[in-house]
Amino acid sequence: MTRTLITSAIPYINGIKHLGNLVGSQLPADLYARYLRARGQEVMFICATDEHGTPAELAAKKAGKPVADYCAEMWQVQKDLADGFRLSFDHFGRSSSQRNHALTQHFAARLADAGLIDERSSRQVYSNADGRFLPDRYVEGTCPNCGYDRARGDQCENCTKQLDPTDLIEPRSAISGSTDLEVRETKHLFLRQSKLRGDLDAWIDGQDGWPVLTTSIAKKWLHDGDGLQDRGITRDLDWGVPVLRDGEPWPGMEGKVFYVWFDAPIEYIAGTAEWADANGQPEAAWRRWWREDEGADDVRYVQFMGKDNVPFHTLSFPATLIGSGEPWKKVDYLKSFNYLNYDGGQFSTSQGRGVFMDQALSILPADYWRWWLLSHVPENSDTEFTWENFQTSVNKDLADVLGNFVSRVTKFCRAKFGETIPEGGSMGEPERILIGRLSDGLAAYQTHMDNIEIRKAAAELRAIWVAGNEYLQEAAPWSVFKDDPERAAAQVRLALNLIRVYAVLSRPFIPDAAEAMLAGMQTDDDSWPTDMEAALTALPAGHAFVVPDVLFAKITDEQREDWAARFSGVRT
RNA sequence: GGCGGUGUAGCUCAGUUGGUUAGAGCAGCGGAAUCAUAAUCCGCGUGUCCGGGGUUCGAGUCCCUGCACCGCCA
């Protein structure tokens, strides 16, 4: 049977992510992983924190901590939030791990062996006061074009002119404000991606059924203008993977580290190795997921990410893998997402705009967020989050349609038959119709989930919930009970069994509520339904259950107004 | 500036390779039911598919153009 390797774009370390970040990669990846596991597939689901680079160093400095300590703390924060959202990673790694150091250095060495790396000098701004080279965007000054006095070294935000740091008038360090700057010559390794253009082009052409968003972005970067550019893969920083070659100093590269965008995707592989280490597994256990010569030929590899990450995953990372000359597993399907907007604007980490993962969990359980975000995931276009929409969707779908179904069935049974699945009676025409609808719905649901069409899957799941209410409405056991209790018993028995089926089908979306439903039905049978009729008789007459607590309390208007006001401004 | 995306019912969005009277959920209106978290179920939509040209027997769906909003520019 096919095994599935799933990776989510790895979140950057410098702070808590907002819901737009969550819905663009980790959450849909989790949905897919949970679904495949429920279907009995072997899954390896890897995520990690992306820890290197200047922003991490600056965030650590601002927090007054050594960067390694800062990253360790923020990793734990992000790990706890991932747990809070029930993200079911097999391993949540760190790009700063020794595994990633070793693999990053390994890839660089193989690329060098293949003649795909060369050394180039460039002139970069060095800040004496900061004791470091400054990335272009960390040099500020007056724009020579428009006179804006806070232009960045890569571009003037005011007139949008692309700049070189040396163009700036009265340049200063954006870190310290120091004007004690000089231009120094520095050498860096470049990955000669341009030589791999043909390979990449052929590889992308060989992909069937990738989302248009994915291939169009890749093709654009391959063919536009001068085509795929070689890129520097090292930086003059302290925090990162040291540039070594097979464990030895790399001549001319002393004191330098690999660029974050070179080592970050390699962490997908390293993270799997970290998983093996954490679980006492041998090398072969992780290599069978990644090396086609060591068992990975039956692996299907699916990546999830926001559209801004697509170029790195369709070009840079594959260039690393292909260029190594080794049979590493490359992505088979790349699911990319548009953006989630917040109440008329963008979610913004830098501006603190929107709802952040910690805030979200502080006001509502994970399932509420998971359901809304996944059922509105920006698959085909950007999507808008509004509190009104969130409130009505969640109340209607979760509380009224699903939660109330569980409530009305279990409470009716308790009142008329006790907290035991009643016996007697048999199925009739309405039951057969229901089973037919559920079977069709299940088939559609599976198709959408298999195709990773998440909104469609969510809509189908909701329709499956609705079918239960439609049945109850038509069967009306509360009326039937008056003169044919046995018939009512059969109806209730079916409806109670439906709760278990709903729990199983809904679990990828709302794992906690699904657990509560299974707990209420006092069953461990979470097997995926293959035959709907059989699945609806899994809990036999005489089986005891308990009426669960209200699964989803409704969001009140007062809460909504309060939250809308609280999260309207800027996070402090 | 270059490139890309989006613009469909009050709201959030679907609309496959162009083909019968443009759909879903929510909201709204009417009704049924009363087991249930005042929940459920049924019925009801004449919307210049952003504007203007064009291709076609036929375009929301392709081409050109204008407008608006948004993103990216390593």
Per-residue pLDDT of A504-529, as tens digits, reads 999 999 999 999 999 999 999 999 99
Q: How far is the CA of A376 from the C1' of B23 (A)?
A: 17
Subset of residues 232-261 in chain A with CB less than 7 angstroms from any atom in strand B: 261
A349 is in an annotated binding site: yes
Q: Is the CB of A469 under 7 A from strand B?
A: yes
Q: Residue A413 annotated as binding?
A: no
Q: Which of A452, A106, A114 is nearest to A291 (CA)?
A: A106
Which chain A residues in 138-157 sit with Cβ < 7 A of strand B? 154-155
Strand B proximal residues, A:523-552, Cβ < 7 Å: 550-552
Distance of A381 CA from B7 C1′ (whole Å)? 11
| pLDDT(A71) > 90 | yes
Does A572 have pLDDT greater than 60?
no
Q: Report CA(A377)–C1'(B18) in Å, whole number.
A: 28
- Distance B54 C1' – A100 CA (angstroms): 57
With 0.90 as the threshold, say if the pTM is over it: yes
Protein-proximal positions, strand B, CB < 7 A = 1, 3-7, 11-15, 24-27, 32-37, 39-42, 70-74
Element (DSSP H or E) covering residue A249: strand A248-249
Look-up: residue for tokens 């597993």? A329
A311 CB inside 7 Å of strand B: yes
Q: What is the pLDDT of residue A407?
A: 96
Q: In what order do the strands lie in the sheet with A345-346?
A: A345-346, A340-342, A383-385
Strands A151-152 and A139-142: antiparallel
pLDDT for the residue A169: 82
- Write out the DSSP string of A42-108: EEEEEEEEB--SHHHHHHHHHHTS-HHHHHHHHHHHHHHHHHHTT---SEEEETTSHHHHHHHHHHH
Q: Does A470 contact strand B, using a CB cutoff of 7 Å? A: yes
Cβ(A33)–Cβ(A331) under 8 Å?
A: no
Question: What percent of chain A shows pLDDT beyond 90?
Answer: 55
A388 in contact with nucleic chain B (CB within 7 A): yes
Nucleotide nearest to A416 (CA to C1'): B35
Q: How crowded is the C-beta side of A367, counted as CA atoms within 13 Å?
A: 23
Which residues, at least 6 apart from A286, have a Cβ–Cβ distance to it below 8 Å? A272, A273, A275, A276
Q: How far, in Å, is the CA of A52 from the C1' of nucleotide B7?
A: 39
pLDDT for position A24: 85
**Does residue A270 have a pLDDT over 90?**
yes
Q: Identify the pLDDT of residue A160.
A: 58
In chain A, which residues from 79 to 98 place their CB closer than 7 Å to nucleic acid strand B?
Answer: none
- The residue with greater pLDDT, A123 or A45, is A45
A319 CB below 7 A from strand B atoms: no
Angle between helices A511-520 and A366-375 (to 10 degrees): 120
CB A449 within 8 A of CB A464: no
Do the annotations mark residue A47 as ligand-binding?
no
Chain A 416-455 contacts with nucleic strand B (CB below 7 A)? 455
Q: In what order do the strands lie in the sheet with A132-133?
A: A132-133, A117-127, A181-191, A231-232
pLDDT at A241 over 60: yes
- Condensed to tens digits (0 to 9), the pLDDT of residues A121-145 reads 888 888 888 888 888 778 888 877 7
What distances in angstroms separate CA A520 from CA A270, A490, A513, A551, one per listed residue?
41, 19, 10, 10
Asked if A274 and A96 count as a contact pair (C-beta separation under 8 A), the reply is no
CA of A115 to C1' of B43 (A): 72
A159 belongs to an annotated ligand binding site: yes
| Spatial separation of the C-alpha atoms in residues A512 and A492, rounded to whole Å | 24
Protein A202 CA to nucleic acid B25 C1', in Å? 42
Q: Mean pLDDT throughout A470-490?
A: 94
Strand B proximal to A76 Cβ, under 7 A: no
* pLDDT tens figures, A325-345: 999 999 988 888 877 888 767
In total, chain A counts a number of residues equal to 572
**Which residue is closest to B39 in terms of CA–C1' distance?**
A400
- Does the annotation flag A156 for ligand binding? yes
Tell me the CA–C1' distance in angstroms for A307 and B22. Answer: 30
Q: Is the CB of A221 under 7 A from strand B?
A: yes
Name residues 46-65 of chain A with a Cβ under 7 Å from nucleic strand B.
none
What residue ranges define each of the domains in chain A, with the CATH number in brackets? 3-116+192-337 (3.40.50.620), 341-572 (1.10.730.10)
Whether the predicted pLDDT of A46 surpasses 60: yes
**A435 pLDDT exceeds 80?**
yes
For residue A552, give the nucleotide whose C1' atom is nearest its CA: B37
Contacting residues for A148 by C-beta, under 8 A, at least 6 apart: A142, A156, A157, A158, A159
Judge whether residue A396 contacts strand B, using its CB and a 7 Å cut-off: yes
Q: Report pLDDT for A162.
A: 63
Residue A188: strand, helix, or coil: strand
Cα A473 to Cα A458, A466, A495: the distances in Å are: 23, 11, 12
ipTM of the complex: 0.87
* Distance of A28 CA from B9 C1′ (whole Å): 29
